[in-house]
Structure 1
Amino acid sequence: MVAIKGQFRAHIQVDPALELGLISGVGRGGQPSTGTRRANRPPTTSLTRRRTINTPPTVAELPHPIALELGGNWRPQPARHGVQELDHAATFIHLDGRQLHLSERFDDPGHLHIRGAFHTTDYPFRRGERDTVRVAMRGDPADIAARIAADLIPVHRDVHERVKEHNRAQAEMRRDVEEAARDLSARLPGARTRIDGTTALVYMDLEPGEVRIGLDGDTVSLVLNDAPGSSPTPSYSR
């Protein structure tokens, strides 16, 4: 040891080869000499590896491998709340417009519920037309796709066509009712019209009394209330 201005400096002999290895193998701050700084994170241990393996998958992670097994006509899409993607739900969209909805229910964690989705409709669904397939989220994607293909897609395809036909018929009926109601209103001076989907009401004051013409699909009803020289007339259909 040699004293220099009251401080001590230790002279340590380092082998030149070892010194070259230390300098070339480690950069500043103990980082690799490649110039790439790694993120500050704790080292991965066997415990953290087991925790990662045991973490259940989210619904958002499942659609792509399942869609690959279902075939090229189904496209996975994330479910959103506003602009935020949801981890517990997703959607399959077929090229012909059919949709399947996937979700994990809060009261049934670890299981995937798949059901057919439909556009807004007043179609009278019957028992079995909106059943759900329930599978374990840790299941093999090929097995999940096989369940969907066997137990859900055939029924959903048929019901989807019936719903589409029902909606087309309802839209045509709404157009017919609206046209008939407006035509009646134009022929009755002072008549007023209220249209609500496949029903419409055309009414007119008679001083005293009132006449009401109701349209409900292809049914027409006429009501006379307090008409001059007559008692109230019940409605009828034709």
Structure 2
Amino acid sequence: MTTILVTGGTGTLGRHLTERLRADGHEVRVLSRHAQPYAVDLREGGSGLDDAVAGVDTVVHCATSPRGGDEKASRNLIAAARRAGVGHLVYISIVGVDRVPFGYYKSKLAVERLVEESGIGWTVLRTTQFHDLVLRVLQGMSRLPVMPLPARVKDQPIDVTEVAERLAELAQGAPAGRVDDMGGPEVRTFDSLARAYLRAAGRRRAVVRVPLRGAAYDAFRAGGHLAPERAVGTGTFDEFLTRRLGAAVTHR
């Protein structure tokens, strides 16, 4: 039986990954700021982090924050993993971090580099956006009388359970380096996703496409965050909405 540490194990992805690994018979430790007995703030490190990685065979690094601090947190984790003799470090990243000059993406790319240079056997998987994230964004936008959406931007959302399945496979295997990207089954315009959400939620909002400026927006508009050639996911956004909101969605 392998001992696997999952950072961010209480998050959207981490919960599914932890369940899958435990179902496969592994001892799984969940590290997050509030999960006992391994309640650790990775940005602070300390003895609690050393305790969490002691005797661990593989670390799956899912913890992240768009508010910053990922690089410091990852440096602390990698240092502790080296001290503990961890043999495999798996990192979940995002498609397009090397193509879209967006602040959060730059941080994810920097962490990829830290993982690659860690001296530990490593695996990096990049995926497109989770259905859950797209839903949260649309729910936030729908609080306004009019939903402002970035003009001419598409997305390729993927089901988080499928990502968890793939991560579990990678965590149970040998270090594989940068593996093939993983994208959702459909590339759709953002306003198409918004209209699907509004139908499923039974809400009425005007949808307005707003042109933006900047290098990041240009890269998103060019599809730098998409992986149409790696559309390996099977669960669609409409199916996700039906499960989550309990209403059938007609894609149009």
Report the TM-score, using the length of structure 2 for normalisation. 0.23
Task: Between the two structures, name the one with larger relative contact order (CA 8 Å, sep ≥ 6).
Answer: 2
Kindly indicate which of the two structures has a greater share of residues assigned to strand: 1
User: TM-score scaled by structure 1?
Assistant: 0.24
